[in-house]
Amino acid sequence: MVKLTKEDIRVILKRASSGDFSVKTASEIHGLTERRIQQQTKIYCDTEEVPTLNPNREPKTHLSDEQKAIIDEFWEETGLGVRLLFYELKKRGYMIPHNKIHQYLREICRTTSNPRKQKKRKRCRYERLHSGSMGHGDNEKKTYSTVGFLCTSSLRDSVQKFSFEKRQRGSEIIQENKSHDTD
């Protein structure tokens, strides 16, 4: 995090908004992200005031020594990971945020970051072999069959075939009974 004075911020924003140098150049010079400079420049252009932090915001809190001792005790006792340790502490009446538990356990080298979870995720919602593999889910109109449950056309066809055969067998049985009655 870069500490800048109000004067530094004002100079950066004036130069970036006037076009003296680009947002990318400003971000490289001052060690800020391009997006943050864009946000601050927009606020500056709209209000003509240098943006400041909210003085009424909630201050950042740190774990107390008592909370650290509780986490150590439960970790020694159970050996659970961060998430399960959080739920175990919560069940026993201690409300310690799981991100702070994770930060503390990383500081004392009891957990490590998983590099596979640190990489940027792909923008793919479903894993599929090719673009047409999800087509089977939407290509048929779903209807309710006479049996009373949701089915696709192939299941509906088999149910209709079964009921037709059942009706046909029933009519054959009735005809046989009639022939036996007349004898």
Give domain status of residue 75, yes or no.
yes
Mean pLDDT score across all residues of the chain: 78
Q: Which amino acid is at 162?
A: F
Give domain status of residue 124, yes or no.
no
Residues 14-65 pLDDT 10s: 888 888 888 888 888 888 888 988 888 888 888 888 888 788 888 888 999 9
Give domain status of residue 143, yes or no.
no
Quickly state the pLDDT bin for 118 (edges 50, 70, 90): confident
Looking at residue 169, what is its pLDDT?
A: 66
Quickly state the pLDDT bin for 68 (edges 50, 70, 90): very high
Residue 54: is it exposed, middle or buried by C-beta count within 10 angstroms (0-12/13-18/19+)? exposed
71 with 108, same domain?
A: yes
- Comparing 38 with 158, which gets the higher pLDDT? 38
Percent above pLDDT 70 for the chain? 66
Looking at residue 43, what is its pLDDT?
A: 87
Looking at residue 53, what is its pLDDT?
A: 77
Percent above pLDDT 90 for the chain? 23
Give domain status of residue 95, yes or no.
yes
**Could you give the angle at the alpha carbon of 35 between the alpha carbons of 6 and 17, nearest 5°?**
55
Give domain status of residue 130, yes or no.
no
Give domain status of residue 177, yes or no.
yes
Do residues 31 and 56 make contact, with C-beta atoms less than 8 angstroms apart?
no
DSSP code for 108 = T
Measure Cα distances from 75 to 12, 65, 132, 144 in Å.
48, 15, 48, 53
Number of domains in the chain: 3
Give domain status of residue 36, yes or no.
yes
Q: Average of pLDDT values for 102-109?
A: 92
- Comparing 155 with 57, which gets the higher pLDDT? 57
Helical packing angle, 98-107 and 65-78, nearest 10°: 80
37 with 76, same domain?
A: no
Task: Report the alpha-carbon distance of residue 172 to residue 18 in Å, rounded.
Answer: 93
Give domain status of residue 119, yes or no.
no
Quickly state the pLDDT bin for 151 (edges 50, 70, 90): very low
73 with 41, same domain?
A: no
Q: Which domain holds residue 87?
A: 65-113
Task: Report the alpha-carbon distance of residue 102 to residue 60 in Å, rounded.
Answer: 16
Quickly state the pLDDT bin for 115 (edges 50, 70, 90): confident
Cα 84 from chain centre: 19
